[in-house]
Amino acid sequence: MKKRFLILRHFIPVTRVQCGSACARMRVVKYSECQKNHAARTGGYAVDGCREFMPEGEEGTEEALICAACGCHRSFHRRVQEYEVGCECLYSSQ
């Protein structure tokens, strides 16, 4: 099962575990379209059309925070968190 959350502010969802310690929850963070307003100085609104964040460098370097497509910082891109819940519960019919 895969759920998608659009993060507008810092939010920590409550995890409900029904079958004990066999359930695992994995969070994957992705960055989608760029929302930088390039016409803010003139009082307008114009975005560059970058549809997905692609890091310039490897994870852990300063270049990983810059988008290779549009050159903006990662913080200008919309943050999307996906949660995957995997549960290996075994129920007996007795």
Count of domains in the chain?
Answer: 1
User: Would 15 be classed as within a structural domain?
Assistant: no
User: Would 23 be classed as within a structural domain?
Assistant: no
pLDDT for the residue numbered 92: 43
User: Would 18 be classed as within a structural domain?
Assistant: no
Domain of residue 45: give its range: 2-9+29-87
User: Would 46 be classed as within a structural domain?
Assistant: yes
User: Would 21 be classed as within a structural domain?
Assistant: no
User: Would 56 be classed as within a structural domain?
Assistant: yes
Condensed to tens digits (0 to 9), the pLDDT of residues 27-79 reads: 788 899 999 998 999 999 999 889 899 999 998 899 999 999 999 999 999 99
The two three-digit tokens of residue 62, written as one number: 């300063």
Q: DSSP code of 66?
A: B
* Residue 1 confidence (pLDDT) above 80: no
* Amino acid at residue number 48: D
User: Would 92 be classed as within a structural domain?
Assistant: no
